[in-house]
Protein backbone atom coordinates (compact mmCIF):
# COMPACT_ATOMS: atom_id res chain seq x y z
CA UNK A 1 0.00 0.00 0.00
CA UNK A 2 1.46 3.38 -1.05
CA UNK A 3 1.36 6.57 1.01
CA UNK A 4 -1.75 7.95 -0.68
CA UNK A 5 -3.67 4.69 -0.31
CA UNK A 6 -2.70 4.58 3.36
CA UNK A 7 -3.88 8.15 3.87
CA UNK A 8 -7.16 7.34 2.13
CA UNK A 9 -7.77 4.29 4.33
CA UNK A 10 -6.88 6.25 7.46
CA UNK A 11 -9.32 9.02 6.50
CA UNK A 12 -12.08 6.51 5.77
CA UNK A 13 -11.58 4.85 9.14
CA UNK A 14 -11.97 8.15 11.00
CA UNK A 15 -14.69 9.74 8.87
CA UNK A 16 -16.67 6.68 7.83
CA UNK A 17 -20.36 6.50 8.82
CA UNK A 18 -21.01 5.39 12.39
CA UNK A 19 -22.39 2.04 11.24
CA UNK A 20 -19.09 1.32 9.49
CA UNK A 21 -16.95 2.52 12.42
CA UNK A 22 -18.93 0.37 14.84
CA UNK A 23 -18.39 -2.86 12.92
CA UNK A 24 -17.12 -5.56 15.31
CA UNK A 25 -13.45 -6.43 14.91
CA UNK A 26 -13.62 -9.88 16.51
CA UNK A 27 -16.07 -12.74 16.79
CA UNK A 28 -16.75 -11.97 20.43
CA UNK A 29 -17.86 -8.43 19.55
CA UNK A 30 -20.55 -9.63 17.15
CA UNK A 31 -24.07 -9.18 18.50
CA UNK A 32 -26.83 -11.63 17.60
CA UNK A 33 -26.73 -14.64 15.24
CA UNK A 34 -26.20 -17.02 18.16
CA UNK A 35 -27.76 -19.83 16.08
CA UNK A 36 -24.64 -19.90 13.87
CA UNK A 37 -22.02 -18.00 15.90
CA UNK A 38 -22.63 -19.35 19.38
CA UNK A 39 -19.58 -20.91 20.95
CA UNK A 40 -19.38 -24.49 19.82
CA UNK A 41 -21.36 -23.88 16.63
CA UNK A 42 -19.87 -25.06 13.33
CA UNK A 43 -19.20 -21.62 11.84
CA UNK A 44 -17.70 -20.29 15.08
CA UNK A 45 -15.34 -23.26 15.31
CA UNK A 46 -14.33 -22.99 11.64
CA UNK A 47 -13.47 -19.28 11.93
CA UNK A 48 -11.59 -19.76 15.21
CA UNK A 49 -9.58 -22.63 13.73
CA UNK A 50 -9.03 -20.69 10.47
CA UNK A 51 -10.41 -23.66 8.54
CA UNK A 52 -13.28 -21.98 6.74
CA UNK A 53 -14.62 -23.56 3.56
CA UNK A 54 -16.75 -21.76 0.94
CA UNK A 55 -19.88 -20.22 2.48
CA UNK A 56 -22.78 -17.97 1.51
CA UNK A 57 -24.32 -15.62 4.05
CA UNK A 58 -27.97 -14.90 3.41
CA UNK A 59 -30.19 -12.43 5.26
CA UNK A 60 -31.88 -9.01 5.23
CA UNK A 61 -29.91 -5.74 5.26
CA UNK A 62 -28.14 -4.64 8.41
CA UNK A 63 -27.86 -8.02 10.16
CA UNK A 64 -24.08 -8.43 9.88
CA UNK A 65 -23.23 -10.27 6.65
CA UNK A 66 -20.46 -7.88 5.62
CA UNK A 67 -19.41 -7.47 9.26
CA UNK A 68 -18.94 -11.22 9.58
CA UNK A 69 -16.81 -11.26 6.43
CA UNK A 70 -14.68 -8.41 7.83
CA UNK A 71 -14.18 -10.32 11.09
CA UNK A 72 -13.02 -13.32 9.09
CA UNK A 73 -10.61 -11.03 7.22
CA UNK A 74 -9.19 -9.83 10.56
CA UNK A 75 -8.74 -13.32 12.00
CA UNK A 76 -7.67 -15.47 9.07
CA UNK A 77 -4.12 -16.11 7.89
CA UNK A 78 -5.43 -16.40 4.34
CA UNK A 79 -5.09 -13.62 1.76
CA UNK A 80 -8.43 -11.78 1.83
CA UNK A 81 -9.93 -9.99 -1.18
CA UNK A 82 -13.28 -8.24 -1.44
CA UNK A 83 -15.36 -7.29 -4.49
CA UNK A 84 -18.87 -5.89 -4.78
CA UNK A 85 -20.97 -7.53 -7.47
CA UNK A 86 -22.80 -4.28 -8.20
CA UNK A 87 -19.65 -2.77 -9.77
CA UNK A 88 -17.24 -5.69 -10.31
CA UNK A 89 -16.93 -7.69 -13.51
CA UNK A 90 -15.26 -10.85 -14.78
CA UNK A 91 -11.91 -9.04 -15.06
CA UNK A 92 -11.94 -8.38 -11.30
CA UNK A 93 -12.57 -12.07 -10.64
CA UNK A 94 -9.73 -13.06 -13.00
CA UNK A 95 -7.32 -10.77 -11.14
CA UNK A 96 -8.16 -12.36 -7.79
CA UNK A 97 -7.94 -15.89 -9.22
CA UNK A 98 -4.45 -15.15 -10.61
CA UNK A 99 -3.35 -13.84 -7.19
CA UNK A 100 -4.83 -16.94 -5.58
CA UNK A 101 -2.91 -19.25 -7.91
CA UNK A 102 0.35 -17.48 -7.06
CA UNK A 103 -0.43 -17.62 -3.33
CA UNK A 104 -1.16 -21.33 -3.46
CA UNK A 105 1.73 -22.28 -5.72
CA UNK A 106 4.41 -19.96 -4.36
CA UNK A 107 3.56 -19.56 -0.68
CA UNK A 108 1.14 -22.41 0.13
CA UNK A 109 -1.25 -19.69 1.30
CA UNK A 110 -5.00 -19.82 0.87
CA UNK A 111 -7.03 -16.99 -0.67
CA UNK A 112 -10.49 -15.89 0.46
CA UNK A 113 -12.69 -14.03 -2.02
CA UNK A 114 -15.59 -12.14 -0.47
CA UNK A 115 -18.30 -11.17 -2.97
CA UNK A 116 -20.84 -8.75 -1.56
CA UNK A 117 -24.29 -8.80 -3.25
CA UNK A 118 -23.31 -12.01 -5.06
CA UNK A 119 -26.83 -12.36 -6.46
CA UNK A 120 -26.02 -9.40 -8.75
CA UNK A 121 -23.54 -11.53 -10.72
CA UNK A 122 -25.02 -13.08 -13.85
CA UNK A 123 -24.81 -16.80 -14.61
CA UNK A 124 -21.63 -16.48 -16.69
CA UNK A 125 -19.82 -14.60 -13.92
CA UNK A 126 -20.91 -17.14 -11.32
CA UNK A 127 -19.95 -20.03 -13.61
CA UNK A 128 -16.43 -18.62 -13.97
CA UNK A 129 -15.79 -19.21 -10.28
CA UNK A 130 -16.90 -22.86 -10.26
CA UNK A 131 -13.61 -24.63 -11.08
CA UNK A 132 -11.59 -22.44 -8.71
CA UNK A 133 -14.01 -22.98 -5.83
CA UNK A 134 -14.10 -26.69 -6.71
CA UNK A 135 -10.30 -27.19 -6.54
CA UNK A 136 -9.77 -24.86 -3.58
CA UNK A 137 -7.89 -22.15 -5.45
CA UNK A 138 -10.21 -19.66 -3.79
CA UNK A 139 -12.44 -19.93 -0.75
CA UNK A 140 -15.66 -18.13 -1.58
CA UNK A 141 -17.63 -16.03 0.87
CA UNK A 142 -20.81 -14.73 -0.71
CA UNK A 143 -23.26 -12.29 0.86
CA UNK A 144 -26.79 -11.76 -0.42
CA UNK A 145 -30.08 -10.29 0.70
CA UNK A 146 -31.92 -12.55 -1.76
CA UNK A 147 -32.76 -16.20 -1.33
CA UNK A 148 -29.62 -17.93 -2.68
CA UNK A 149 -31.63 -20.95 -3.82
CA UNK A 150 -33.29 -18.67 -6.35
CA UNK A 151 -30.50 -16.24 -7.19
CA UNK A 152 -27.22 -18.19 -7.00
CA UNK A 153 -26.01 -20.82 -9.44
CA UNK A 154 -27.03 -24.29 -8.23
CA UNK A 155 -23.56 -25.71 -8.93
CA UNK A 156 -22.00 -22.95 -6.82
CA UNK A 157 -24.49 -23.63 -4.02
CA UNK A 158 -23.58 -27.31 -3.96
CA UNK A 159 -19.95 -26.34 -3.31
CA UNK A 160 -20.82 -23.95 -0.48
CA UNK A 161 -22.50 -24.01 2.91
CA UNK A 162 -25.48 -21.70 3.33
CA UNK A 163 -25.80 -19.78 6.59
CA UNK A 164 -28.94 -17.69 7.11
CA UNK A 165 -28.53 -14.59 9.27
CA UNK A 166 -31.66 -13.56 11.14
CA UNK A 167 -32.86 -9.98 11.78
CA UNK A 168 -31.38 -8.68 15.00
CA UNK A 169 -33.66 -8.66 18.03
CA UNK A 170 -34.62 -5.42 19.72
CA UNK A 171 -32.21 -6.30 22.54
CA UNK A 172 -29.39 -6.84 20.01
CA UNK A 173 -29.97 -3.43 18.43
CA UNK A 174 -30.15 -1.78 21.87
CA UNK A 175 -26.77 -3.30 22.73
CA UNK A 176 -25.25 -1.76 19.60
CA UNK A 177 -26.93 1.60 20.24
CA UNK A 178 -25.55 1.89 23.77
CA UNK A 179 -22.16 0.57 22.66
CA UNK A 180 -21.88 3.39 20.12
CA UNK A 181 -22.02 5.94 22.96
CA UNK A 182 -19.28 4.17 24.91
CA UNK A 183 -16.59 3.72 22.26
CA UNK A 184 -14.00 6.32 21.24
CA UNK A 185 -14.50 5.37 17.60
CA UNK A 186 -18.25 5.76 18.12
CA UNK A 187 -20.02 8.80 19.58
CA UNK A 188 -18.09 9.16 22.82
CA UNK A 189 -16.14 12.09 21.38
CA UNK A 190 -19.41 13.95 20.77
CA UNK A 191 -20.19 13.95 24.50
CA UNK A 192 -23.70 12.71 23.75
CA UNK A 193 -26.25 10.50 25.46
CA UNK A 194 -29.61 9.00 24.55
CA UNK A 195 -32.77 8.56 26.60
CA UNK A 196 -34.11 5.07 27.21
CA UNK A 197 -37.32 6.03 25.42
CA UNK A 198 -35.45 7.15 22.28
CA UNK A 199 -33.21 4.07 22.28
CA UNK A 200 -36.21 1.75 22.57
CA UNK A 201 -37.99 3.59 19.75
CA UNK A 202 -35.02 3.31 17.37
CA UNK A 203 -34.40 -0.32 18.27
CA UNK A 204 -38.06 -1.10 17.59
CA UNK A 205 -38.47 0.92 14.41
CA UNK A 206 -35.24 -0.36 12.85
CA UNK A 207 -36.88 -3.77 12.46
CA UNK A 208 -33.68 -5.70 13.13
CA UNK A 209 -31.50 -3.47 10.90
CA UNK A 210 -28.62 -2.20 13.03
CA UNK A 211 -27.35 0.05 10.25
CA UNK A 212 -30.63 1.97 10.13
CA UNK A 213 -30.58 2.56 13.89
CA UNK A 214 -26.94 3.68 13.96
CA UNK A 215 -27.43 6.00 10.97
CA UNK A 216 -30.33 7.70 12.76
CA UNK A 217 -28.28 8.10 15.95
CA UNK A 218 -25.34 9.61 14.06
CA UNK A 219 -27.62 12.09 12.31
CA UNK A 220 -29.13 13.04 15.66
CA UNK A 221 -25.73 13.55 17.28
CA UNK A 222 -24.42 15.68 14.42
CA UNK A 223 -27.48 17.93 14.08
CA UNK A 224 -28.67 18.40 17.67
CA UNK A 225 -27.51 21.49 19.54
CA UNK A 226 -25.76 21.06 22.84
CA UNK A 227 -27.70 21.74 26.01
CA UNK A 228 -26.58 24.14 28.73
CA UNK A 229 -24.68 21.30 30.40
CA UNK A 230 -22.57 20.89 27.25
CA UNK A 231 -24.12 17.52 26.40
CA UNK A 232 -25.99 16.44 23.27
CA UNK A 233 -29.17 14.80 24.52
CA UNK A 234 -30.92 12.56 22.00
CA UNK A 235 -34.56 12.42 23.06
CA UNK A 236 -37.56 10.64 21.58
CA UNK A 237 -38.55 13.78 19.67
CA UNK A 238 -35.07 14.03 18.13
CA UNK A 239 -35.10 10.33 17.22
CA UNK A 240 -38.51 10.66 15.56
CA UNK A 241 -37.30 13.58 13.49
CA UNK A 242 -34.11 11.83 12.40
CA UNK A 243 -35.88 8.68 11.25
CA UNK A 244 -38.96 10.56 9.97
CA UNK A 245 -41.34 8.27 11.82
CA UNK A 246 -43.63 9.01 14.72
CA UNK A 247 -43.40 6.74 17.73
CA UNK A 248 -46.60 4.74 17.93
CA UNK A 249 -47.50 3.43 21.38
CA UNK A 250 -47.39 -0.28 20.70
CA UNK A 251 -45.99 -2.80 23.14
CA UNK A 252 -45.78 -6.18 21.41
CA UNK A 253 -46.43 -7.98 24.66
CA UNK A 254 -48.93 -5.56 26.16
CA UNK A 255 -52.48 -4.33 25.87
CA UNK A 256 -51.90 -2.16 22.81
CA UNK A 257 -50.70 -5.17 20.85
CA UNK A 258 -53.79 -7.20 21.68
CA UNK A 259 -56.15 -4.24 21.30
CA UNK A 260 -54.88 -3.47 17.80
CA UNK A 261 -54.86 -7.03 16.51
CA UNK A 262 -58.34 -7.54 17.98
CA UNK A 263 -59.60 -4.41 16.22
CA UNK A 264 -57.98 -5.66 13.00
CA UNK A 265 -59.71 -9.05 13.23
CA UNK A 266 -63.05 -7.56 14.27
CA UNK A 267 -62.90 -5.14 11.32
CA UNK A 268 -62.46 -8.04 8.90
CA UNK A 269 -65.24 -9.94 10.66
CA UNK A 270 -67.45 -6.84 10.50
CA UNK A 271 -66.95 -6.41 6.73
CA UNK A 272 -65.14 -3.08 7.06
CA UNK A 273 -62.13 -3.13 4.69
CA UNK A 274 -61.38 0.53 5.49
CA UNK A 275 -60.83 -0.20 9.18
CA UNK A 276 -59.02 -3.48 8.46
CA UNK A 277 -56.42 -1.79 6.24
CA UNK A 278 -56.09 1.10 8.72
CA UNK A 279 -55.28 -1.23 11.64
CA UNK A 280 -52.96 -3.19 9.38
CA UNK A 281 -51.06 0.04 8.64
CA UNK A 282 -50.89 0.85 12.37
CA UNK A 283 -49.38 -2.54 13.15
CA UNK A 284 -46.85 -2.38 10.31
CA UNK A 285 -45.85 1.18 11.23
CA UNK A 286 -45.26 0.05 14.81
CA UNK A 287 -43.03 -2.79 13.60
CA UNK A 288 -45.36 -5.72 14.18
CA UNK A 289 -44.08 -9.06 12.88
CA UNK A 290 -45.56 -9.62 9.41
CA UNK A 291 -45.66 -13.36 10.03
CA UNK A 292 -47.86 -12.78 13.07
CA UNK A 293 -50.24 -10.63 11.02
CA UNK A 294 -50.35 -13.22 8.23
CA UNK A 295 -51.18 -15.98 10.73
CA UNK A 296 -54.06 -13.95 12.17
CA UNK A 297 -55.47 -13.44 8.68
CA UNK A 298 -55.27 -17.17 7.99
CA UNK A 299 -57.29 -17.81 11.12
CA UNK A 300 -59.78 -15.05 10.31
CA UNK A 301 -60.28 -16.41 6.80
CA UNK A 302 -61.54 -19.69 8.26
CA UNK A 303 -63.22 -18.47 11.44
CA UNK A 304 -64.98 -15.39 10.08
CA UNK A 305 -65.51 -16.32 6.41
CA UNK A 306 -65.23 -20.08 6.19
CA UNK A 307 -67.13 -21.80 3.41
CA UNK A 308 -69.17 -18.70 2.65
CA UNK A 309 -66.15 -17.87 0.44
CA UNK A 310 -63.59 -20.70 0.37
CA UNK A 311 -61.23 -18.47 -1.65
CA UNK A 312 -60.59 -16.37 1.45
CA UNK A 313 -58.30 -19.00 3.01
CA UNK A 314 -56.53 -19.39 -0.35
CA UNK A 315 -55.92 -15.64 -0.58
CA UNK A 316 -54.69 -15.52 3.03
CA UNK A 317 -52.37 -18.51 2.53
CA UNK A 318 -50.99 -17.07 -0.72
CA UNK A 319 -50.41 -13.73 0.99
CA UNK A 320 -48.55 -15.41 3.88
CA UNK A 321 -46.21 -17.17 1.45
CA UNK A 322 -45.81 -14.16 -0.83
CA UNK A 323 -44.94 -11.69 1.93
CA UNK A 324 -42.30 -14.09 3.25
CA UNK A 325 -40.75 -14.28 -0.22
CA UNK A 326 -41.07 -10.58 -1.11
CA UNK A 327 -40.43 -9.04 2.31
CA UNK A 328 -41.08 -5.45 3.34
CA UNK A 329 -41.90 -2.77 2.37
CA UNK A 330 -43.59 -4.25 -0.73
CA UNK A 331 -45.16 -6.96 1.43
CA UNK A 332 -47.52 -4.35 2.86
CA UNK A 333 -49.42 -4.34 -0.47
CA UNK A 334 -49.90 -8.11 -0.34
CA UNK A 335 -51.14 -7.98 3.25
CA UNK A 336 -53.52 -5.12 2.41
CA UNK A 337 -54.99 -7.07 -0.51
CA UNK A 338 -55.63 -10.12 1.68
CA UNK A 339 -57.09 -8.05 4.54
CA UNK A 340 -59.41 -6.19 2.16
CA UNK A 341 -60.53 -9.46 0.55
CA UNK A 342 -61.35 -11.13 3.87
CA UNK A 343 -63.19 -8.02 5.07
CA UNK A 344 -65.19 -7.83 1.82
CA UNK A 345 -66.09 -11.53 1.64
CA UNK A 346 -69.47 -12.97 2.76
CA UNK A 347 -69.25 -14.15 6.35
CA UNK A 348 -69.95 -17.41 8.15
CA UNK A 349 -68.57 -18.82 11.39
CA UNK A 350 -70.25 -22.19 10.83
CA UNK A 351 -66.93 -24.05 10.59
CA UNK A 352 -65.72 -22.51 13.84
CA UNK A 353 -68.96 -23.32 15.66
CA UNK A 354 -68.90 -26.86 14.24
CA UNK A 355 -65.42 -27.73 15.53
CA UNK A 356 -66.16 -26.13 18.92
CA UNK A 357 -69.35 -28.19 19.23
CA UNK A 358 -67.52 -31.34 18.13
CA UNK A 359 -64.86 -30.77 20.79
CA UNK A 360 -67.52 -30.39 23.46
CA UNK A 361 -69.18 -33.63 22.35
CA UNK A 362 -65.87 -35.52 22.33
CA UNK A 363 -64.90 -34.17 25.75
CA UNK A 364 -68.29 -35.13 27.15
CA UNK A 365 -68.75 -38.56 25.54
CA UNK A 366 -65.18 -39.79 24.97
CA UNK A 367 -64.39 -42.32 22.24
CA UNK A 368 -67.78 -43.59 21.15
CA UNK A 369 -67.89 -46.83 19.13
CA UNK A 370 -67.55 -46.24 15.38
CA UNK A 371 -70.21 -48.09 13.34
CA UNK A 372 -68.65 -51.44 12.32
CA UNK A 373 -69.36 -50.99 8.59
CA UNK A 374 -67.17 -47.83 8.62
CA UNK A 375 -64.21 -49.51 10.29
CA UNK A 376 -61.11 -50.64 8.41
CA UNK A 377 -61.76 -53.81 6.44
CA UNK A 378 -58.50 -54.02 4.50
CA UNK A 379 -56.96 -56.83 6.53
CA UNK A 380 -57.60 -60.56 6.36
CA UNK A 381 -60.62 -61.87 8.27
CA UNK A 382 -61.96 -58.34 8.87
CA UNK A 383 -65.42 -59.51 7.69
CA UNK A 384 -65.51 -62.14 10.44
CA UNK A 385 -65.40 -59.26 12.92
CA UNK A 386 -68.13 -57.40 11.07
CA UNK A 387 -65.73 -54.77 9.77
CA UNK A 388 -67.01 -53.17 6.56
CA UNK A 389 -70.04 -55.43 6.37
CA UNK A 390 -73.11 -53.54 5.12
CA UNK A 391 -71.17 -50.45 4.02
CA UNK A 392 -72.86 -48.52 1.21
CA UNK A 393 -70.42 -47.02 -1.29
CA UNK A 394 -71.82 -43.57 -2.15
CA UNK A 395 -70.59 -43.57 -5.75
CA UNK A 396 -72.74 -46.61 -6.56
CA UNK A 397 -75.93 -44.63 -5.92
CA UNK A 398 -77.79 -41.83 -7.75
CA UNK A 399 -76.26 -38.39 -7.24
CA UNK A 400 -73.28 -40.22 -5.62
CA UNK A 401 -75.19 -40.12 -2.35
CA UNK A 402 -76.92 -42.64 -0.12
CA UNK A 403 -78.55 -42.24 3.28
CA UNK A 404 -76.27 -43.90 5.80
CA UNK A 405 -75.35 -43.34 9.44
CA UNK A 406 -71.79 -42.12 9.87
CA UNK A 407 -71.84 -40.78 13.43
CA UNK A 408 -71.73 -43.11 16.47
CA UNK A 409 -75.15 -44.29 17.66
CA UNK A 410 -75.26 -42.10 20.76
CA UNK A 411 -74.89 -38.83 18.82
CA UNK A 412 -76.30 -39.81 15.43
CA UNK A 413 -79.05 -37.18 15.55
CA UNK A 414 -76.92 -34.26 16.78
CA UNK A 415 -76.26 -31.65 14.05
CA UNK A 416 -72.72 -30.31 14.12
CA UNK A 417 -71.96 -28.35 10.93
CA UNK A 418 -74.78 -25.92 10.15
CA UNK A 419 -74.10 -23.96 6.95
CA UNK A 420 -75.79 -20.61 6.47
CA UNK A 421 -77.65 -19.29 3.44
CA UNK A 422 -74.83 -16.85 2.64
CA UNK A 423 -72.25 -17.06 -0.13
CA UNK A 424 -71.05 -20.52 -1.09
CA UNK A 425 -72.61 -22.06 2.02
CA UNK A 426 -76.00 -21.41 0.43
CA UNK A 427 -74.86 -23.64 -2.45
CA UNK A 428 -73.95 -26.35 0.06
CA UNK A 429 -77.50 -26.32 1.43
CA UNK A 430 -78.95 -26.24 -2.08
CA UNK A 431 -76.84 -29.26 -2.98
CA UNK A 432 -77.91 -31.22 0.10
CA UNK A 433 -81.57 -30.57 -0.67
CA UNK A 434 -81.04 -31.54 -4.31
CA UNK A 435 -79.58 -34.97 -3.45
CA UNK A 436 -82.22 -35.57 -0.78
CA UNK A 437 -80.00 -35.20 2.28
CA UNK A 438 -82.33 -34.17 5.11
CA UNK A 439 -84.24 -31.48 3.16
CA UNK A 440 -86.01 -30.20 6.27
CA UNK A 441 -82.77 -29.57 8.14
CA UNK A 442 -81.24 -27.79 5.17
CA UNK A 443 -84.25 -25.76 4.16
CA UNK A 444 -83.64 -22.14 3.21
CA UNK A 445 -83.48 -19.70 6.11
CA UNK A 446 -83.43 -16.01 5.34
CA UNK A 447 -80.09 -14.77 6.78
CA UNK A 448 -81.62 -11.34 7.34
CA UNK A 449 -83.81 -12.92 10.01
CA UNK A 450 -81.01 -14.89 11.67
CA UNK A 451 -78.56 -13.75 14.34
CA UNK A 452 -77.23 -14.21 17.85
CA UNK A 453 -76.25 -11.22 19.92
CA UNK A 454 -73.80 -13.23 22.05
CA UNK A 455 -70.15 -13.79 21.24
CA UNK A 456 -69.72 -17.46 22.13
CA UNK A 457 -65.98 -17.37 21.56
CA UNK A 458 -65.26 -14.50 23.98
CA UNK A 459 -62.86 -15.76 26.64
CA UNK A 460 -60.85 -13.46 28.92
CA UNK A 461 -58.13 -16.09 29.24
CA UNK A 462 -57.60 -16.28 25.48
CA UNK A 463 -56.16 -12.87 24.63
CA UNK A 464 -54.15 -14.32 21.78
CA UNK A 465 -57.18 -14.38 19.51
CA UNK A 466 -59.42 -11.59 20.76
CA UNK A 467 -59.07 -9.08 23.53
CA UNK A 468 -62.54 -7.65 23.92
CA UNK A 469 -64.91 -6.71 26.68
CA UNK A 470 -68.49 -7.78 26.25
CA UNK A 471 -70.83 -4.81 26.58
CA UNK A 472 -74.25 -5.23 28.03
CA UNK A 473 -76.75 -5.57 25.21
CA UNK A 474 -80.21 -4.27 25.95
CA UNK A 475 -82.72 -5.05 23.28
CA UNK A 476 -86.41 -5.57 23.74
CA UNK A 477 -87.37 -9.22 23.49
CA UNK A 478 -83.78 -10.47 23.56
CA UNK A 479 -82.24 -12.08 26.66
CA UNK A 480 -78.79 -10.75 27.47
CA UNK A 481 -75.83 -12.62 28.94
CA UNK A 482 -73.26 -10.46 30.67
CA UNK A 483 -70.82 -13.02 32.08
CA UNK A 484 -68.71 -15.74 30.51
CA UNK A 485 -70.40 -18.30 32.75
CA UNK A 486 -73.84 -17.35 31.41
CA UNK A 487 -72.63 -17.56 27.81
CA UNK A 488 -71.07 -20.99 28.39
CA UNK A 489 -74.23 -22.17 30.13
CA UNK A 490 -76.28 -21.04 27.19
CA UNK A 491 -74.00 -22.90 24.78
CA UNK A 492 -74.26 -26.12 26.74
CA UNK A 493 -78.04 -25.82 26.71
CA UNK A 494 -77.97 -25.40 22.95
Residues whose CB falls within 8 Å of the CB of residue 6, separated by 6 or more in sequence, listed in order = none
Q: How far apart, in whole angstroms, are the C-alpha atoms of residue 192 and residue 222?
A: 10
Residues 285-300 have pLDDT tens digits of 877 888 889 999 999 9
Q: Yes or no: say if 208 and 244 are a contact pair by the CB < 8 Å rule.
A: no
d(CA 153, CA 317) in angstroms, rounded, equals 29
Distance CA 137, CA 103 (A): 9
**Integer CA distances (angstroms), 284 to 77, 323, 333, in order:** 45, 13, 11
3-state helix, strand, coil in the chain (%, to 5): 55, 5, 40
**Buried b / exposed e along 267-286 (16+ C-beta atoms within 10 A):** bbbebebebbbebbebbbeb
Q: What is the rounded CA–CA span in Å between residue 363 and residue 492?
A: 12
Measure the CA–CA gap between 96 and 277, rounded to whole angstroms.
51
pLDDT value, residue 473: 38
Rounded to two decimals, the pTM is 0.50
DSSP state for residue 367 in the 8-state scheme? S
355 touches 299 (CB < 8 A) = no
**pLDDT reported for residue 252:** 52
pLDDT in tens, 37-80: 888 888 989 888 888 889 999 988 888 898 898 888 888 888 99
Contact assessment for residue 28 and residue 39, using Cβ atoms and an 8 Å cutoff? no
Q: Do residues 297 and 342 make contact, with C-beta atoms less than 8 angstroms apart?
A: yes
The closest of 49, 62, 51, 60 to 22, measured between CA atoms, is 62
pLDDT by residue for the chain (494 residues), tens only, comes to 455 554 555 555 556 888 888 888 888 888 888 888 888 888 989 888 888 889 999 988 888 898 898 888 888 888 999 999 999 988 999 999 999 999 988 888 999 999 999 998 998 899 999 999 998 899 999 999 888 888 888 888 888 999 999 888 889 999 999 999 988 888 888 888 999 988 988 888 887 888 888 988 888 888 888 888 888 999 988 888 877 654 444 555 555 667 888 889 999 999 999 999 999 998 888 778 888 899 999 999 999 999 999 999 999 999 999 998 888 888 899 999 999 999 999 999 899 999 999 999 998 888 888 888 888 877 777 777 777 787 888 898 888 988 888 889 888 888 988 898 888 889 988 888 888 888 888 888 887 777 665 555 444 444 344 433 333 334 334 344 444 445 444 444 54
Do residues 280 and 329 make contact, with C-beta atoms less than 8 angstroms apart?
A: no
Of 145, 129, 139, 65, which Cα lies nearest the Cα of 92?
A: 129
Amino acid sequence: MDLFAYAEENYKEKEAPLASRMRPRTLDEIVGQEHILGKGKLLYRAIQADQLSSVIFYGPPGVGKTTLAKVIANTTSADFHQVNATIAGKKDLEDVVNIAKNNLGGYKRRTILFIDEIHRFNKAQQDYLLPFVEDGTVILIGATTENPYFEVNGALLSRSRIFELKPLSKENVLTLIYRSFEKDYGLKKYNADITEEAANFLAEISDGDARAALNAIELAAMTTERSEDGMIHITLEVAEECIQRKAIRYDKSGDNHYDTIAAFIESMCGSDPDAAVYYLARMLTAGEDVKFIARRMLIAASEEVGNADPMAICVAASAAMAVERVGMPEGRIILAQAAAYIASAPKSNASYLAIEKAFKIVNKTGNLPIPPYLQDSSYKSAAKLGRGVGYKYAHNYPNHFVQQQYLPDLIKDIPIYEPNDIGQEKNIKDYFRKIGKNPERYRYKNPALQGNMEKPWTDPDNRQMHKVSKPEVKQEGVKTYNTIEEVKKKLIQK
